[in-house]
Amino acid sequence: MSKHVRKAVFPAGGLGTRFLPATKVIPKEMLALVDKPIIQYGVEEAVASGIEHIIIVTGRGKGAMEDHFDISYELDATLERKHKDELLAVSRGVSSMARISYVRQKEPLGLGHAVWCAKDLVGDEPFAVILPDDVIDAETPCLKQMIGVFEERGGSVLATMTIEGPGISAYGVLAGEQDPDNWRIYNCTGMVEKPKFEDAPSKLAIIGRYVLTPRVFELLEKTKPGAIGEIQLTDGIKALVQEEKVFGYTFEGKRYDAGDKFGMLQATVEFALKRADLGPKFREYLKGLGL
Ligand code: G1P
């Protein structure tokens, strides 16, 4: 088995009910954060982390994602004719960003099942998983940091973040111990998906970035529906912990839950403020609101 992480799986088959009615027709992954669909942030992170092949797990009504990463002849020809060179570069940049394959998740059986759907496209090599809802702003891309840990430690790596209070129940939560040599690393002994606050084994929540060994596919195949009646990725990785080393990794950077209305608003404000073309004007506008 090669140790090189070349492929990244993007589960994107979900219905996006948290964003209705916006997501009735538009896939939630295509909602814009400032001027870019949220899935593009994840794809750019993967490419900047050295990923060569992106595998998007889609579902019914998700065709807009495929069109987005494809060449748009009409748009490109029009921009070329009108000499809109900068916009042409933006459009072409999206379609030439990465090699992308698509596989359909025919039934919404859960995140573990969605990842399993990519089994044949991944094959027998370690791979990354990026949950597009989790947008992470970091100096060194989060996935790149994690691939570094994977290469150094030789075990699967899950991105983690400390969550104080009952909010932890919305996540997969790790059990284990902090590594004595590096506080960012956590040696996993178990994990539980969406525990009750009282039952959470720690404050370390799994965030939507994973580097996994392909053994997880075989374990997912045997994983029974768990929390909320779905086949959970967390349960597949919990079985992996019995056989291989699995690490939590507290990444450097800031995570936004762009699948949630409030998280999307936070990300919108902070990303817009950082933009050279929008930031100064937007800052003045916000100040003028006199909140
Ligand atoms: C999923 C995972 C969960 C993880 C979370 C991170 O949950 O199942 O373990 O903590 O993503 O965003 P979801 O947000 O799909 O409910």
Enter the CATH code of domain 7-259: 3.90.550.10
CA of 172, closest atom in ligand 1: 9
Q: What is the per-residue pLDDT across 40-88, written as a single tens digit (0 to 9) for each?
A: 999 999 999 999 999 999 998 888 999 999 888 899 999 999 999 999 9
Residue ranges per domain, the chain? 7-259
How many angstroms does the Cα of residue 51 sit away from the middle of ligand 1? Answer: 22
Confirm if 153 and 240 have CB atoms less than 8 A apart: no
How many angstroms does the Cα of residue 269 sit away from the middle of ligand 1? Answer: 23
Residue with CA nearest ligand 1 atom 15: 111
Mark 239-250 as b/e (b = at least 16 C-beta within 10 Å): ebbeeeebbbbb
pTM for the full predicted model: 0.95
Ligand 1 pocket, CB under 6 A = 111, 131, 134, 171-172, 193, 205-208, 232-234
CA of 134, closest atom in ligand 1: 12
Task: Ligand 1 pocket test: pick from 111, 212, 216, 249 the residue with the most ligand atoms within 8 Å of its Cβ.
Answer: 111
Q: What is the per-residue pLDDT across 164-178, written as a single tens digit (0 to 9) for each?
A: 999 999 999 999 999
CA of 206, closest atom in ligand 1: 10
CA pair distance 223, 217, nearest whole angstrom:
10
Q: What is the mean pLDDT of residues 84-111?
A: 91
How many angstroms does the Cα of residue 207 sit away from the middle of ligand 1? Answer: 7
Q: Give 2's pLDDT tier (boundaries 50, 70, 90).
A: low
Residue with CA nearest ligand 1 atom 13: 171
Q: Report how far apart, in Å, the C-alpha atoms of 103 and of each of 39, 139, 159, 167, 228 are.
A: 16, 31, 25, 33, 24
